[in-house]
Structure 1
Amino acid sequence: MSKTELLKGQKGIVPKAHPVLKAGTFAFALSAAMMTTAYAQENATPDATLDRLLIEDTELAPDDNPYSEPGVAYKAKTVSDIRRVRPIADTPATITVITKEVIEDSGITELKDILAAQPGITLGTGEGGNSFGDRYIIRGYEARSDVYTDGMREPGLITRETFALEQIEITKGPSSTFAGRGSTGGAVNMVTKKASLDQDFSKAQIAVGTDQYFRGTLETNKVINDKVAIRLNAMYRDSDIPNRAPAGKEHWGAMASAVIEATDNLVFNADFYHFETDDMTDPGRRFNNGEVDATHPFIGKVGLHFQKTQADIGTLKIGYDFQNGLRVENKTRIGATSNDYSLPEYSPAGIDRRTGLPKDASYSTKAGWQENDYIGNQLSFIWDTNFANLDHTFIFGAEYSNEKTLSGGYSITTVDSGAVDVTNYNNYDWVGSVARGDMSVDYELETLALYLMDTVPLTSTIEVSAGLRYDDFSYKAEVAGRARPGQPVPDPTVYDFGDGLLNYQAGVKYSPWEHSNVYANISTSSNINGGEADSLGNCGYGGLCTDSNGEYAFSDPEQSTNLEIGTKWNLLNEKLLFTAAIFQTTKNDVIEGSGRDYSPEGNLNTGKNRVKGIEFGLHGNITSKLSTSLGVAFMESETLESYNEDNVGLPKANFADTSGTAQFKYQFTPKFAFGGTVTHSSGIYGGQPDAAAVTSVDLPGYTSADMFAKYTFGDLLSVRLNINNITDKEYYTATYRGGHFVYLGDARNAKLTITSKF
């Protein structure tokens, strides 16, 4: 019988102090002192046993997802965040989990493409005012900074892959009690693969396909002894973008992890992640006067256009069980990411620099770079105790983080860096040079947060949960002056301010029948002015905003409140989870751009908007042979208040009223399975998230279909065929805020994957 152990632990805590920098330093000192004391106590009590959550199932393979329902690969039982003290089926919130088996069967390997298919999520584009990279919009709200890895915020706007992931967790609705600042529409948490003490296992995959596709992965876990194990995941990919060569992608990465059970009560986990990309990104189609122009298939020029990202992130986790109902976990993370790009972009009009004649549309090059450094510490305590004749699970803790960002542009010595007629662009070879320019933004955000949560059953059928979090932040930014024609470059502008964010969540769950419940939940979130590090100085793109005089950057935080009523049914012997939720999110004190997008001038706390809807989910085994991962959302949005009265009543930008995905798998025989996925999104309007829609930029909706088949040869070898976009229908996933261009979904493509276990 196989067994997977999930160690019960928790996130970081430090006591409140001021100033915030000294408090953060104290967090690390306290963590070290606490762990030293814990180790000494452990040596004094050698007979203690570490409390574990045991998941047992005769069919659980050593490399299976430890968070999934045993024997049900398409259904997650728990999330990785131990502050969620109940299984997903008993948690009063909308949480969608995409397991690694769902990811593998889909044949999709980039986080961006996986999230784009999920209900309530759309994609954003890179622009002149913010960086190019993975950009997500959840329920109409910007979420590009609300991405986490193993519960800690991931810095930078970069490309993300799935080769080292167990599952992807999407929490819907404001969740600042757990996530900190941001998370208005929700948050995304990537759960990585960890070293296991269970047994040795190894797996290799090679995938080849159309469009010169190649991808290879290696995964191996080695048990050194009964106390130490190591694990390695590695990946390399090289391919063209389907039907869009020379646009293509080259990715490589590795993640190494280790676990050490120093004693029965003290466990260390460490990992290091490295990932690089060297892409020639597809700029999509020209979008002119509300029509997609497919007659000019320009993709880019080799040497001029590129996107290169890199991530190096190390994490240390220490867990200790005091054997009296109290457990503690400390996480420390140090990471650095970078994003360099020089990408073609359509513009609505311009002058052909070769002929000097005006043109109705043109190409230009957007180029920039960004470097992010992050350090964070989480120290949390979980206490199971009886208080006032009720069983409580208290969580109290704190989190410290320091994020630093440097960014700038590129110097391009070629006429192609200016506006050139799209009809003539392919007729010219590119000659020139691209060089990194000087730094234009120096940004630092330091945060110390304290939080307290409790979950308590009041009766056999009623349970309540609540949480409170306070974030104290310090914000500093230096933005280089922008030169005006014929004038000297002004001195840099320095912004320095701080504030506090208070957020809460509360839920009640009523379970009148076994394996089912109804619940109600209220939660809040806060956004700070200038919180999007890739847009600093560009108010209209989510960056720092001043008042109309350009002098005052301190504003009230944007505040969001979500009301949700839902139900969850754990059916068919807990092998199929059905969820439904009605929700309404209202965002107040919205900071609005003034229309001069590349300037910091804006309108502080003048906006208000609302999103409401209903979302359904179905995950797991419908029968012993048929599995599904399904979700659909029906929503509507409205701008309630704005500095511009014409915006009132308009829907939100980048917002799909209807969206959903349904992936099915049928196990026809013990060795042969087949299935497919259908994804749908209604049309969206262009514009900046949190702003009223630009209704003249109307992107059509789409429906796409994929299919797969898998055959297993014994226990060690399998082959899977994926055909994505089987109808080869051209569809569009995102649009620039003012139109001009749209991003393309992948054309039809096929991949054959061979998996060998050894």
Structure 2
Amino acid sequence: MSKKVLLGSTALLGALSIGSTSVFANETADNNNKAKDKELELIEIHGARNSLYSVKQSGDIRRLAELVDTPATITVLTKDQIEESGRSDLKEILSTQAGVTLGTGENGNAFGDRYIIRGHEARSDVFVDGLRDPGMTTRESFSVEQIEITKGPSATFAGRGSSGGAINSITKKASLGYDFGRVDGGIGSDDYYRVSVDVNKPINEDFATRINLMKANEDAPKRPGAERSREGALISGLYDDGNKTKVWADVYYLNAEDVPDLGTTVVNDKIIEDIPVYAQNGDFMDSEAWSTTLRFEHQLNDTWKLYNITRYGETENGYVATSAGGTSGYANEADATNQENGFDTFALGSHSNAQEVEHVATQFNLFAELSHGSIEHKLLFSAEYADYSVKNYSYDNIRDFVTSNCWTNTRRGVAEGFCGLDSNGNAADGLNSALDRSNIVKGALKNDYNYEVAAISIMDTIQLNDDLMIFAGLRLDSYDYSNLTNGRDGEALYEFSDTLTNGHFGVVYEVVDDINLYASYGTATNINGGESDVGGNCGYGGVCTDSEGSANAEPETVTNIEIGTKMSLNDEKLFVQIAAFQLTKDDIMEGAGRGYDVTGALNTGKHEVTGIEVAMNGQLTEKLSIQVSAATMDSEILKSESNPDSIGLPLALFADDSFYAQARYQLTEDFAFGGDFTYKSGMTGGQPDTGSNGPDVPAYRVYNLFATYNFSDDVTARVNLGNVFDEEYYTSTYRAPKFMYIGDRQSLRATVTYQF
């Protein structure tokens, strides 16, 4: 049996490198009608020597047109880009991207991966290989080939939600075309280490397996005491009969154990800079997830193909975290009473939640390529069933103070308390042991959320002639919803059913070769109580009804109108997109007051986001690779019965301007260097779908550098310098702002890759 086929082209070697996304993710599409040669020929993988910043095709098998011909804004991040940036958690990766910001919150949704895309909540719109990944959890990139960010309503593909967009991770899969092994080992500042293994092995002419393992640990850069620990595995197998049938099966596992850091706070309208880590002994944020996925592909005949993906998974999350609340401290009771001789400090608060998630989903896709005269159709008929169960719990015995060192005067009155900073601005003695965490126990059930849905959709990509393509889709989601909440107003059960209808329509016109103009219209809908982590907290996306528990609210509706151009330049090595959009959300369910109960207003809000986005990725020259995304947007509250004073205000946690650029320059055959730059304009704190005043989160700029050197065909080294100028910056804030997340400070890491 022939062992290797040597590939001469540098570009092709890059596409087939282990970091390549386009080959692995789209191997199925490329070989739909090809029987494999039983005399197996293996493609040689040249380790980490080559880097790919561009792909032509989405890794979602349902997207039948190339990205340049797709009438939507889709940003694809390749494995190479992610690795060279030095980031690993999904939250870190996406926080840099234009048009995406991070959210925060109290208790139930303070942690996990919470994203806001084009001003709209997307924490429930995270997908893995096209299936929703429910619940608030930590997500890692060790098992990922590429990450795709779809901007604008995506309900035809995603179902309910996906108002501003969706995130879809394409996982690594076993392949018969490769026989490789790769080990990455890294060390760095802040007690950083990371080891990962990726091995793909054909067992015989019909079976292959792929094993990915990862273990990592670090302190948050320059914040010792705030810790992050990860360990994960993805084991994948493939059966390929070489003719019509392929079957993949995989098992995924991730365990994340952190000591969380809620960042800094504001006192007297001033951010406390260089705040010490105040996490208490016993604070934790643990997330454990596992799932098993089965994929089946069968070519029925020359026209029809069937593809099914089925997944079952469970996740357990829990955290007890300490927050800092800016306040004034006093040396004695008299000063506190008279509010004299005070000093700026912060008090400690506790936040906690536990979550159990169980999910099962299956999706059947039937593809057909048909012709009617000169008109060509690529049809997709899809049927999906999913059942998500999310239980949220509290923790008890987390607020016991061990000691007091000052007096405070708050809305609760004058009392002894603990001040994190003394009158000289220094960290107080016993800062990390002021609260007793030794008796923490899992408490009562806060809410039991269940969402069961059956959906059908039809999509058609119509090539009318050489220059004109039409894309149309329609989806129906029939769901049953129940949510047993146990909140401040007691226990209540909410149950209702409905059918959601969404669609999209797009036109693509090729002006000249490889330069297209497009226009699209798409919709999405959100249901009452759609966020699974907040129960009856109307203000954060929980059940929002009247006091009797009526669930007669109409779905929130989202529409998006977008026009733009897409270009494939530089001999199809460089992709460029420019898009202008107007995204309108109507019939918004608004929280009342602080939003801690279910007495919000139904279908009484409306807001709009307009903007322009620019994206560019691929090869500018033979040696220079780039990935650039930029967005300038404007948001406005158009209608609000719950809070009329907010009309005209911008959305909370919304950055008007954002920019990200990553570049890599291949100076010599063995040496390359590059870096990335992130800019986000100032944001205000607040709840989803609400307006707010004031620049709570200042604008920030972050610079990072990397360099790689190939010692041989099999050994490559990379050095990453994060936050080159060691700037303290903030990525998100709570509405008070009671806490403000701190971005990573300066870090230095070195990674060696060995291929065998």
**TM-score, with length taken from structure 2:** 0.89
Q: State the Cα distance separating 1:394 from its structure 2 match.
A: 1.0
For residues 634-693 of structure 1, the C-alpha deviation after alignment (integer angstroms, 9 at most, x for no partner) is 100000000122111100110001001110100000000000111100000111121112
2:343 aligned with 1:365: no
> Residue 350 of structure 2 contacts residue 398 of structure 2 at CA under 8 Å; is this kept in 1?
no
Counterpart residue number, 2:52: 73
Q: State the Cα distance separating 1:384 from its structure 2 match.
A: 0.5
> Residue 167 of structure 1 contacts residue 190 of structure 1 at CA under 8 Å; is this kept in 2?
yes
> Residue 7 of structure 1 contacts residue 52 of structure 1 at CA under 8 Å; is this kept in 2?
no
How do 1:730-745 and structure 2 match up within 5 A?
Answer: 730-745=728-743
For residues 192-227 of structure 1, the C-alpha deviation after alignment (integer angstroms, 9 at most, x for no partner) is 110010131000011000001011001101110111
- Indicate which of 581, 584, 591 corresponds to 1:583: 581
How do 1:96-495 and structure 2 match up within 5 A?
Answer: 96-262=75-241, 264-294=243-273, 296-303=275-282, 305-347=283-325, 361-387=346-372, 389-412=374-397, 415-416=400-401, 420-423=418-421, 426-428=428-430, 429=433, 430-431=435-436, 432-482=438-488, 490=490, 492-495=491-494
3-state SS in 2 of match to 1:231: strand
CA gap 1:450/1:444 in 2 versus in 1, 3 angstroms: same
2:644 aligned with 1:645: yes
Counterpart residue number, 1:617: 615
For residues 533-592 of structure 1, the C-alpha deviation after alignment (integer angstroms, 9 at most, x for no partner) is 011111111111112x35323310010000000101100110001110001100010111
- Stretch moving more, 396-405 or 472-481: 472-481
> Residue 9 of structure 1 contacts residue 328 of structure 1 at CA under 8 Å; is this kept in 2?
no
Q: CA RMSD in A?
A: 2.5
Counterpart residue number, 1:51: 33
Counterpart residue number, 2:752: 754
CA gap 1:211/1:59 in 2 versus in 1, 3 angstroms: farther
Counterpart residue number, 2:74: 95
Instruction: Determine the C-alpha separation between the residues in 2 that align with 1:517 and 1:426.
Output: 62
3-state SS in 2 of match to 1:611: strand
- Indicate which of 707, 710, 714 corresponds to 1:709: 707
Q: State the Cα distance separating 1:89 from its structure 2 match.
A: 1.1
Instruction: Determine the C-alpha separation between the residues in 2 that align with 1:550 and 1:72.
Output: 59
- Stretch moving more, 154-163 or 129-138: 129-138
In structure 2, give the amino acid aligned to 1:456: I
Q: State the Cα distance separating 1:289 from its structure 2 match.
A: 4.0
Instruction: Determine the C-alpha separation between the residues in 1 that align with 2:102 and 2:631.
Output: 16
Q: State the Cα distance separating 1:416 from its structure 2 match.
A: 3.5
For residues 40-61 of structure 1, the C-alpha deviation after alignment (integer angstroms, 9 at most, x for no partner) is xxxxxxxxx952599xxx9985
> Residue 47 of structure 2 contacts residue 754 of structure 2 at CA under 8 Å; is this kept in 1?
no
For residues 144-176 of structure 1, the C-alpha deviation after alignment (integer angstroms, 9 at most, x for no partner) is 010000110002111111111101000000110
Instruction: Determine the C-alpha separation between the residues in 2 that align with 1:178 and 1:241.
Output: 37
2:504 aligned with 1:505: yes
> Residue 356 of structure 2 contacts residue 391 of structure 2 at CA under 8 Å; is this kept in 1?
yes
3-state SS in 2 of match to 1:380: strand
Instruction: Determine the C-alpha separation between the residues in 2 that align with 1:555 and 1:352.
Output: 49
> Residue 245 of structure 1 contacts residue 299 of structure 1 at CA under 8 Å; is this kept in 2?
no
For residues 429-463 of structure 1, the C-alpha deviation after alignment (integer angstroms, 9 at most, x for no partner) is 35432111121211100011110111111121111
3-state SS in 1 of match to 2:203: strand
In structure 1, give the amino acid aligned to 2:33: D
> Residue 194 of structure 1 contacts residue 258 of structure 1 at CA under 8 Å; is this kept in 2?
yes
- Stretch moving more, 606-615 or 538-547: 538-547
3-state SS in 1 of match to 2:91: helix
CA gap 1:105/1:263 in 2 versus in 1, 3 angstroms: closer
For residues 175-198 of structure 1, the C-alpha deviation after alignment (integer angstroms, 9 at most, x for no partner) is 101111111110000111100101
3-state SS in 2 of match to 1:646: helix
3-state SS in 2 of match to 1:512: strand
Counterpart residue number, 1:32: none
Instruction: Determine the C-alpha separation between the residues in 1 that align with 2:399 and 2:593.
Output: 30
Q: State the Cα distance separating 1:740 from its structure 2 match.
A: 1.8
3-state SS in 1 of match to 2:157: helix
Q: State the Cα distance separating 1:481 from its structure 2 match.
A: 4.5
> Residue 575 of structure 2 contacts residue 616 of structure 2 at CA under 8 Å; is this kept in 1?
yes
Counterpart residue number, 2:10: none
Counterpart residue number, 1:486: none
Instruction: Determine the C-alpha separation between the residues in 1 that align with 2:714 and 2:529.
Output: 52
> Residue 352 of structure 1 contacts residue 362 of structure 1 at CA under 8 Å; is this kept in 2?
no
Counterpart residue number, 1:720: 718
> Residue 481 of structure 2 contacts residue 495 of structure 2 at CA under 8 Å; is this kept in 1?
yes
3-state SS in 2 of match to 1:103: helix
> Residue 266 of structure 2 contacts residue 738 of structure 2 at CA under 8 Å; is this kept in 1?
yes
Structure 1: stretches of 5+ with no match in the other structure: 11-48, 484-489
Q: State the Cα distance separating 1:286 from its structure 2 match.
A: 1.4
For residues 476-495 of structure 1, the C-alpha deviation after alignment (integer angstroms, 9 at most, x for no partner) is 11112437xxxxxx4x2111
3-state SS in 2 of match to 1:339: strand
CA gap 1:53/1:543 in 2 versus in 1, 3 angstroms: farther
Counterpart residue number, 1:37: none
3-state SS in 1 of match to 2:52: strand
- Stretch moving more, 745-754 or 322-331: 322-331
> Residue 666 of structure 1 contacts residue 673 of structure 1 at CA under 8 Å; is this kept in 2?
yes
Q: State the Cα distance separating 1:131 from its structure 2 match.
A: 4.4
2:526 aligned with 1:527: yes
> Residue 419 of structure 2 contacts residue 428 of structure 2 at CA under 8 Å; is this kept in 1?
no
3-state SS in 2 of match to 1:80: coil
Instruction: Determine the C-alpha separation between the residues in 2 that align with 1:252 and 1:223.
Output: 26
Counterpart residue number, 2:411: none
> Residue 344 of structure 1 contacts residue 365 of structure 1 at CA under 8 Å; is this kept in 2?
yes
Instruction: Determine the C-alpha separation between the residues in 2 that align with 1:538 and 1:689.
Output: 12
Instruction: Determine the C-alpha separation between the residues in 2 that align with 1:470 and 1:138.
Output: 24
> Residue 285 of structure 2 contacts residue 321 of structure 2 at CA under 8 Å; is this kept in 1?
yes
> Residue 33 of structure 2 contacts residue 302 of structure 2 at CA under 8 Å; is this kept in 1?
no
For residues 485-520 of structure 1, the C-alpha deviation after alignment (integer angstroms, 9 at most, x for no partner) is xxxxx4x21111011110010000110211110000
Instruction: Determine the C-alpha separation between the residues in 2 that align with 1:283 and 1:363.
Output: 11
- Stretch moving more, 202-211 or 126-135: 126-135
CA gap 1:295/1:315 in 2 versus in 1, 3 angstroms: closer
Instruction: Determine the C-alpha separation between the residues in 1 that align with 2:402 and 2:486.
Output: 22
CA gap 1:77/1:389 in 2 versus in 1, 3 angstroms: closer
Instruction: Determine the C-alpha separation between the residues in 1 that align with 2:241 and 2:329.
Output: 68
Instruction: Determine the C-alpha separation between the residues in 2 that align with 1:59 and 1:669.
Output: 28
In structure 2, give the amino acid aligned to 1:299: Y
> Residue 207 of structure 1 contacts residue 215 of structure 1 at CA under 8 Å; is this kept in 2?
yes
